[in-house]
Structure formats: structure tokens, C-alpha cells
Copies of this chain bind each other. A is one copy, B any other.
Amino acid sequence: MNDASPTSGKIPSVGAAQALRRHLEELDADGLGAEMHASIRDLYPICRSITGEGLRQSLRILQRTAPLELHEVPSGTAVFDWTVPREWNLRSARLTGPDGEVIADASRLNLHVLNYSVPFRGRVPLDELQQHLHSLPEQPLLVPYRTSYYREQWGFCIAHDRRARLPPGEYDVAIDTTLADGSLTYGELVVPGAVEEEVLVSAHCCHPSLANDNLSGMVLAATLARLMSALATRYTYRFLFLPGTIGSIAWLARNEAKARRIAHGLVAACVGDAGPLSYKRSRKGDAEIDRAAVHVLEHSGQPYRVRDFSPYGYDERQYCSPGFDLAVGALMRTPHGEYPEYHTSGDDLAFVRPDRLADSLRRYLEVFEVLEGNLAYVNLSPKCEPQLGKRGLYGSVGGRSHAAPSQMALLWVLNLSDGTRTLLDVAERSRLPFADLATAARALTAAGLLAPAPTRGKRE
């Protein structure tokens, strides 16, 4: 990684923003969507958890997309208030009825086993079995996803409809899992930029066969990592693939100094469903990442939702804990818990769509475009408007009712560029798309009418 201090005062070029714009204009959405969906299909059958071989194997599949590095944190390691648990591995888990019928089999659907279930083998009567079953009375055809990481118990998850028809009698339980010292695995990829300040993308990788939550986020983050690696960026980009909660806590505990470099961040989850885009603000509420994401959604031409921060959700809970308070939001489609298929067998391969994955990817890149290009400029001809016409920047016949949008972008950039406002400030006030203002700023800079401000500018 580049060691240049971000406070060295050197203003980097806005090349990455321009390159991202070209990238976006030429984006092969169909191809990328199909590719991401194919990766999800590869990952879907694997039984992941917050530790174990399934997680490791999944990260290795993501390495086909981007060269992320795998890290292991030994069981028993203290990470802030937590301890890395023993590693869990599943060999098989099957529940068989009194008549020999197979009620649940993790090899068919790994949601059937309570995630982190302790091993158990034996015959139990229906009454006792009921204490170990999880189902959804209001969604009787779906199998729920349930976990028990920190309390030792065994269990099965089944459809409520099936549960209601269980005959009395003795059931055969065969849960062949191991809980043993091992390690917690996470993946990491750093794409160095011109400055040490970082943009974080974090995806949780601990859920078993759930496509939207969060194979979609894992695959999106890996694809972003590959695309951003090809660009010379201003910011350094850090991509983290880790088990939810304990994974981000472990990373933060082991990388406290690095965490302080994270200037902007997004948690990637639930990015493949058919719902509109959503943005959940960081704890700060009005950080640059919040404003950039909201700007992108406002100009997306699609319906969208913006939510205030809440301390419930995914790993933004840890990044936004008061001891870190990082500017990390969550850019997603339908938020967790707000679609009926959430954390059930309904969140399957059909639930995520290639075109929605590609659309989500586009919005992440647009947010990066804003972050990369969000500099403050100084109008070098600030007294009255400069004569744009003699520089070929203005139409030659006057008198029309409205200025063309591109001319409005020139006028807004000139009017507000006093060194204290960034292009995002200009975008918010003018309601013009960031990219148009960035184009105007480049044209004005080329014409000698504008220069980057010596400092990045503070918001008005």
C-alpha cells in the first residue's frame, strides 16, 4: 500500500472519477449480472457458518473473482469483549421419523440443521424433539434459518406445515458435527490508492444457503474488488469478507490502527433481490458517504429508500460502535427483515436476479465515482462570470429561455467554487448529477478558469 500521507497537501488528479464514469458508460451489465449470478450458484450449496470449512471453501471460490487473502484467527482469541469460538464443522445431520421417513437432511438443504448445533445421536420421543425444532407458523411452507453460536444446543429447522403433521413416536436424530479448536477465517483485499485514507466494503459470509443474504453481497464485493483493482484511484480500497459480528469484531480488534484510516465505508448485503435500492445512513448521519450514496440514489431514476442509522442490522453495528464511529453505511436493495423470504429457504437462487445484481454494482461504482471526484475548486475568475463564449464553452446565439444542462453545470461550478465547497456540495445545491459537474469542472480547469483548492474544502 502507498504510504503517502493523506495530509501531505498534494491534490491528486480526478482521473479515477473520470475513468469510473467511462467504465459506467461502457458497463456490460448483462455480462456482469450473469457472472455474479453464476458465482452465487457455485456458492449456494455450501454450508457456511461463522467458522469452519464451508466458510473457508466459500472464500476460496471468491478468489476466482478477486485475489483476496485468507486470514485465520485461532479459537480462544480474545477480541474486545468477545472470544473467537471453537470451529464448527458439519458432516451430516438427519432427522428420521418413527416410520423411517426422512424429515430433515442437511445434505439436501443445509438450513435444516440449527447452525452451530452440537453433535447428537439418539432416539427421542416427539414431545422432547419439539424442544429442538424451529419453524415458522406464519410461513408454514418455508424452512427458517436459525443459529446458536454461543449456547450449546442441538436442533433442526423445518417447515411448520411438516412439523404439524409429525406423528407421535420415537425419532432418530443423527447430527454429526464437530466443535473443536480451530480458527475463524476471513478474506481481505486492499487496493492501494494515492492516499492512505480508505474506502471500506464489507460483506458478511457466514450464512449458509441464503442467496440474497448474503451470497449477493459477497459476490458483489468480490466483483467490485476486481473492477477497482484495474483503476488508479485516489483512495485506498479495502474489501473485507468475514463472518457477521464476530468477524468484524475480530478484524477491528486486530486492526485498530488501520480502522482509523477508513474514511468512508459500505456494508454490502441483500443486493440481488427485485426490490428498490435502500441506503441506511452511518451513525454520523450526514457523513460524506451518506451524502454520496443518497445523491446516487436520488439520480438513479428509480424509486429508493433512505433509512436513518439504527444499531441493529449487519456489521455497520460494529464499525459504527461509539469507540470507532466510522462513516460506514449500508447500500442494499430490500433491507434485512423486510422481505418475507428473509432468513428462510425462500431466499434461494430464484430470489436473486442478474439484472438487479448488476444494477446494485452500478450504484456502488457511482458512489465511488463521487468519492473519488469530490474535490473543492477555486474559481480563478471570481468577479462576475467569465466570458465562456470566447472559450467555446457557451452557445453563440442568445435569447433562449433556458440554458442547456451542460451550461448550467458550468455556471454552478463557477458560482459556488470558492474553495470551501466540494463538487458534492455543488451537486446537492444545484440538484444536478455529480458526473455533469465533474465534467464541467474538468472543462473549466482545462480552460484555465478553475483550479483545485489547496485543501479539500469544508462543507458549507
Contacts and interface: CB of A to CB of B under 8 A. Distances in A.
A387 interface: yes
A382 interface: yes
Contacts of A398: 146-149
Contacts of A403: 312
B336 A382 contact: no
A249 interface: yes
A165 interface: no
A414 interface: yes
B379 A322 contact: yes
B385 A321 contact: yes
Interface residues of A, number: 65
A416 interface: yes
A9 interface: no
A333 interface: no
B383 A312 contact: no
Interface in A345-389: 379, 381-387, 389
A396 interface: yes
A110 B312 CA distance: 62
A337 B134 contact: no
A383 B249 CA distance: 9
A381 B414 contact: no
Contact of A401 (B150, B337, B402, B429): B337
Contacts of A151: 389, 396-397
Residue with the greatest number of chain B CB neighbours at <10 A, chosen from A146, A253, A384, A399? A384
Nearest to A147: B398
Nearest to A321: B384
Contacts of A386: 80-81
B384 A415 contact: no
A120 interface: no
A343 interface: yes
A452 interface: no
Contacts of A411: 311-312, 317
A35 interface: no
A384 B148 contact: no
Contacts of A379: 322-323
A252 B399 contact: no
A38 B458 CA distance: 52
Contact of A384 (B146, B253, B412): B253
A384 B150 contact: no
A22 interface: no
Given A148-B396, A387-B81, A399-B144, A412 B311 contact: yes
A248 interface: yes
Contact of A134 (B79, B387, B397): B397
Residue with the greatest number of chain B CB neighbours at <10 A, chosen from A322, A387, A400? A322
A320 B79 CA distance: 53
A202 interface: no
A308 B396 CA distance: 27
A350 B443 CA distance: 44
A417 interface: yes
B134 A384 contact: no
A311 B387 contact: no
Interface in A208-267: 245, 248-249, 252-253, 256
B336 A401 contact: yes
Contacts of A322: 379, 382, 414-418
Contacts of A318: 384-385
A408 B312 contact: yes
A147 B336 CA distance: 58
Interface of A: 79-82, 115, 134, 144-151, 153, 245, 248-249, 252-253, 256, 283, 308, 310-312, 317-318, 320-324, 336-337, 342-343, 379, 381-387, 389-390, 396-403, 408, 411-412, 414-418, 429-430
Q: Which 9 A-B pairs have the closest CB atoms?
A: A323-B382, A323-B383, A337-B401, A311-B415, A311-B411, A147-B398, A151-B396, A81-B386, A322-B382
10 contacts: A82-B387, A144-B399, A150-B390, A308-B429, A310-B430, A311-B414, A317-B415, A321-B384, A321-B385, A323-B379
Given A80-B386, A252-B384, A322-B418, 10 more contacts: A81-B384, A81-B387, A146-B397, A148-B397, A308-B429, A310-B412, A312-B408, A321-B384, A321-B415, A323-B382
